[in-house]
Amino acid sequence: GQNIDQPTEMTATEGAIVQINCTYQTSGFNGLFWYQQHAGEAPTFLSYNVLDGLEEKGRFSSFLSRSKGYSYLLLKELQMKDSASYLCAVRAGANNLFFGTGTRLTVIP
Amino acid sequence: KAGVTQTPRYLIKTRGQQVTLSCSPISGHRSVSWYQQTPGQGLQFLFEYFSETQRNKGNFPGRFSGRQFSNSRSEMNVSTLELGDSALYLCASSPLTGQSPLHFGNGTRLTVT
C-alpha cells in the first residue's frame, strides 16, 4: 500500500517563509505532486518532482529525495491568500495518484 | 478553455437511495479520475476511466461504480447510500491516462441523512 504523511496544521506569519514536509512509503514511485486547495474550491496543481532536487516556480519551490522518501514545499514571502490546504500526492503503482491528508496552512498578519 | 465541470454542486440523499454524479472533463482530455474527499481521510482514489474503459480502481465497495461516454464525459453512481458516503466527490481530468497534472473540478458535496 501507500503511506503518505504530512503535518495536519501549520501557522506562519505574512512575509515569512514556511516549509511543509511530506514523507512517503510506496512501491513503484513515479513522481510527487503538490496541490493547493482553498476551502470550498478544487485542488490546483503547484509543482511536480520526479528526480531528486529542487524545482523552483516563483515564490514556491519543491524538493524531492527519492532515497529518503521525502519531499517539502517551500513558500516564500507569504501572503494572506496563501492560507489554504496543501496536498502532497504520489504517483505510484499502476500510475494512480495517492494523496496525503493535507496540511492546513494559516497565514497570520 | 473551460475547466472540469461537475454537477450537481450539492446533493442531499437518504440512506438506501442511490445517486449519480456527472463530470465533464476539459475539452480534449480523455482520462477522468474520481476521488472521495473527507476531513479524516483526505482524497481517496475511486477509479479512473480512459477511452470508455476503467483503467484503475481504488479500494471501495462495489456500490461505487462509474462509466465514461464516447465524448469523455463520466458519471459516478453510488447505490444503497450509507451515512459514511457523505463526502466531497471530486472529478479530475488529464489528456492521457497516467499523465499529470490532474485538473480538478469543484466537486459535488453529497450529504446522506
Contact at CB, A43 and B43, closer than 8 angstroms: yes
Of these ranges, A18-27, A91-100, B40-49, B96-105, the one predicted with the greatest mean pLDDT is A18-27
| Banded model confidence at residue B39, pLDDT cuts 50, 70, 90 | confident
pLDDT of residue A1: 61
Q: Which residue has the higher pLDDT, A6 or B98?
A: A6
Is the predicted pLDDT of residue B10 greater than 70, yes or no? yes
Q: Which residue of chain B has the CA closest to A34?
A: B101
Q: Give the span between the Cα atoms of A57 and B16, in whole angstroms.
A: 48
Is the predicted pLDDT of residue A85 greater than 60, yes or no? yes
pLDDT of residue A2: 75
Unique residue bearing C-alpha cell 510527487: A32
How far, in whole angstroms, is CA A81 from its chain's centroid? Answer: 17
pLDDT of residue A68: 96
Is the predicted pLDDT of residue B25 greater than 90, yes or no? yes
How does the average pLDDT of chain A come out, rounded? 93
pLDDT of residue B40: 79
Is the predicted pLDDT of residue A8 greater than 80, yes or no? yes
Q: Give the span between the Cα atoms of B10 and A89, in whole angstroms.
A: 26
Q: Which residue of chain B has the CA closest to A36?
A: B104
Interface of B with A (CB under 8 A): 3-4, 33, 35, 40-45, 48, 55-56, 58, 90, 97-98, 100-107
Q: Give the span between the Cα atoms of B43 and B34, in whole angstroms.
A: 10
Q: Is A43 on the interface with B (CB under 8 A)?
A: yes
Per-residue pLDDT of A89-104, as tens digits, reads: 998 876 678 899 999 9
The count of CB pairs under 8 A between chains A and B is: 51
| Banded model confidence at residue B98, pLDDT cuts 50, 70, 90 | low
- Torsion angle, CA of B72/B78/B83/B89, rounded to 10 degrees? 0
Chain B: give the shortest CA distance to residue A33, in Å.
Answer: 8
pLDDT of residue A40: 86
Is the predicted pLDDT of residue A28 greater than 60, yes or no? yes
Identify from B100, B103, B108 which residue to disrupt to test chain A contact, counting A C-beta atoms within 10 A and taking the largest count. B100
Q: Which residue of chain A has the CA closest to B6?
A: A42
Q: Which of B43, B45, B100 sits opposite A87 (nearest CB)?
A: B43
Q: Which residue of chain A has the CA closest to B49?
A: A96
Encode A65-83: b = buried (16+ Cβ within 10 Å), e = exposed.
eeeebebbbbbeebeeebb
Contact at CB, A42 and B58, closer than 8 angstroms: no
pLDDT of residue A36: 97
